Structure 1
Amino acid sequence: MQEQEEDEEELYEHHRIVVEKGQDFLRLDKYLMMRMQNATRNKIQNGIDLGVVKVNDNPVKASYKVKPFDVITVSLPHPPRENGILPENIPLDIIYEDEDLLIVNKPAGMVVHPAFGHWEGTLVNALVYHFQNLPTHRNGEIRPGLVHRIDKDTSGLLVIAKNDYAMAHLAKQFFDHSIERTYYAVVWGELKNEAGTIEGHIGRSLKDRKIRAVFPDGTMGKEAVTHYKVLKNMRYVSLVKCNLETGRTHQIRVHFKHIGHSLFNDNTYGGDRILRGTLFSKYEQFVENCFKICPRQALHAKSLGIIHPRTGEFMQFECDLPQDMQDLIQKWDKYVNNE
């Protein structure tokens, strides 16, 4: 079972609370403590400070006194669900770490979060082990907070929050689409334009609920915008740089499938067969060898730009293309140049 990357919006609890007719005036934070299960006062106060808790569509202070018929809306990151998860001593490629956050380079093939069929060997299992030895770990209360995910077979950068404040701050950046994310992908064919934007609502496919599809008329799904630039044309395939304006499930994979350029070796969206080139035995064997070199969709989360939750500084992180994608590009380049 393939893990699905979630839309940023799906990583949040969304609440709409209408204050009861007979409610006495009470501080907003105290009122929400009574009404929201499993929400700590710190988490609620952080949400209020960041403006993701609103009363009658307006941001307010924690000291605001709720009154009957007030409409309170809340968008807070889901609490980490690491209870009972087995810590595993799995090596992590840590790009950066401080008291608030952790940036890791996830390898292809690693599931981010435990789920049916993947209870062990996940990034969270590794993080739980790693966090056991940190000074921020207190009686099992503090666990790494996932504010976004990438697919099992996509490699690259992820940011993990190490406390409630960082979790709320980073989650708001993803919710507001202010995070800068750059992916590199190898796609089938040469694109007509050197740069462009792919737009089209993305939602669950009407034919297969396990995958996503584009709904160009916007009547279904959620808005999705992908900006791209061609970095290298190799006649049958191209290396492209993608910047996400939104964060929908399988967004890059679905958008490029939609415009007729599925990602190389993406077995969910049709890229695991020859889509460009003449079908003769030498070429078929060459492509089969390429599939073996990069046995997954050729997609890598190469850079990540965030505002640090504590300092307010903009921080940019980058990592190299993994070896399988480097070898794939080199092999295609050599094949085209020798034709």
Structure 2
Amino acid sequence: MNSRRNPKETAKRGTRSHSKPNGKLNHKAKAPAATKSFKVNEPSELLPFLLSHITGRGRNAIKSILSRGQVAVNGKAVTQHNFQLHPGQTVTIDQEKPVQVAEMIGLTIVHEDDDLIIVQKDAGLLSIATAEENELTAYRQLMEHVRVSNPKNRIFVVHRLDRDTSGVMMFAKSERIQQALQTTWKDTVKERSYVALVEGAVKRPEGTVSSWLKETSTLKMYSSPHEGDGMHAITHYKLLQANRHFSLLEVKLETGRKNQIRVHMADIGHPIAGDKKYGAETKTVGRLGLHARVLSFIHPTTGELMTFESPIPKTFLKYTAPAPTN
């Protein structure tokens, strides 16, 4: 995934490796600080204790050392900022200790700051579980991630992707930021576009679908035949490439209704590949042919325009490649 704002910076944020490329070490770099130990003489919480004993390091740098599991109390790694220390204990800082990063399943963090987390979600992973479900979700994994540095930390859902839709998602790190984003969503989000792999050859190079969506008792969305009956939904699409079996479309939402793209593609006679619920007949793709490709928005705190773009899945390109000419 790339950030148009600074691709190199985003790539750097997205990496989870702490070693040099190709395993080569920079011998000119300053060697890591030796292991240091401090005796606890009076009751204190761990973070204030570290701030008072480690010199030449800023607060954020010390919090980072703590969150990476490089601080131990009486030989046991501790990451909680408010861990209670007692006289007689020994606090050890070992910056040479390998960083243990929990591997996420079906999820990659591409940007994180004090307010937001931007992720790339794979097809097949739930955004958040319902009350009846208890399985691995993007929400649960990110909650565990933010609680590494402080068990009181939480994340908040801003928007969702269907289980079988892949691509860019945003989560807030406070209820205040969540509400700010959701309240001003239309003005804050500057672009939210998808790529859709649909069945058949779409003839029109571009078009707009407008309808009023309703939901059946079985939770399936559909376009009402009566104007004004339901929630107004507008979808714009543009043909990227196609053959006689499949078409690849760029899809932009003017509204964000449940299953909107899936319903509207079925309405124009080109259901999304793999989407049996909305009339697809193909099974060869192995997943739902829908991917959230671009998310561009105004940062709720800094006011900065941030744009994150995820590559088109190779499967989508493969299935829509034009037939070779002789």
Query: Which category of TM-score, normalised to the shorter sequence, fits these structures?
Result: 0.5 to 0.7
Q: In the aligned structure 1, how far is the partner of 2:261 from the partner of 2:103?
A: 32
Cα 1:328–1:228 change in 2 (3 A) is: closer
**Which 4+ residue blocks in structure 1 deviate beyond 6 angstroms?**
none
CA contact (8 A) 2:166 2:291 kept: yes
What displacement does 1:229 show? 0.6
Partner of 1:298: 289
Mapping 1:196-207, distance limit 5 Å = 196-205=207-216
Aligned length: 224
Mapping 1:1-339, distance limit 5 Å = 90-91=104-105, 92-115=107-130, 118-134=133-149, 137=150, 140=152, 142-174=153-185, 178-205=189-216, 209-271=218-280, 273=281, 291-292=283-284, 294-322=285-313, 326-333=314-321, 336-337=323-324
Code of the aligned partner of 1:258: D
Code of the aligned partner of 1:296: R
Q: In the aligned structure 2, how far is the partner of 1:226 from the partner of 1:258?
A: 11
Cα 1:331–1:200 change in 2 (3 A) is: closer
CA contact (8 A) 2:154 2:173 kept: yes
Secondary structure (helix, strand or coil) at the match of 1:181 reads: strand
Q: In the aligned structure 1, how far is the partner of 2:135 from the partner of 2:166?
A: 18
What displacement does 1:176 show? 5.3
Q: In the aligned structure 1, how far is the partner of 2:116 from the partner of 2:316?
A: 33
What displacement does 1:131 show? 0.9
Q: In the aligned structure 2, how far is the partner of 1:126 from the partner of 1:153?
A: 18
Partner of 1:18: none
What displacement does 1:194 show? 0.8
Code of the aligned partner of 1:297: L
Q: Which has the larger radius of gyration?
A: 2
Cα 1:240–1:113 change in 2 (3 A) is: same
CA displacement, residues 157-198 of structure 1 (integer Å, 9 cap, x when unaligned) = 100001233212211232558442010011112223211111
Q: In the aligned structure 2, how far is the partner of 1:216 from the partner of 1:97?
A: 44
Code of the aligned partner of 2:117: L
CA contact (8 A) 1:173 1:179 kept: no
Code of the aligned partner of 2:179: A
Partner of 1:279: none
TM score, norm. by length of structure 2: 0.64
Secondary structure (helix, strand or coil) at the match of 2:231 reads: coil
Partner of 1:15: none
CA displacement, residues 239-281 of structure 1 (integer Å, 9 cap, x when unaligned) = 000011111000100011111110111111111x15xxxxxxx
Q: In the aligned structure 2, how far is the partner of 1:124 from the partner of 1:333?
A: 35
Q: In the aligned structure 2, how far is the partner of 1:180 from the partner of 1:99?
A: 23
Query: How many percent identity over aligned positions?
Result: 35
Code of the aligned partner of 1:226: T
Q: In the aligned structure 2, how far is the partner of 1:124 from the partner of 1:244?
A: 24
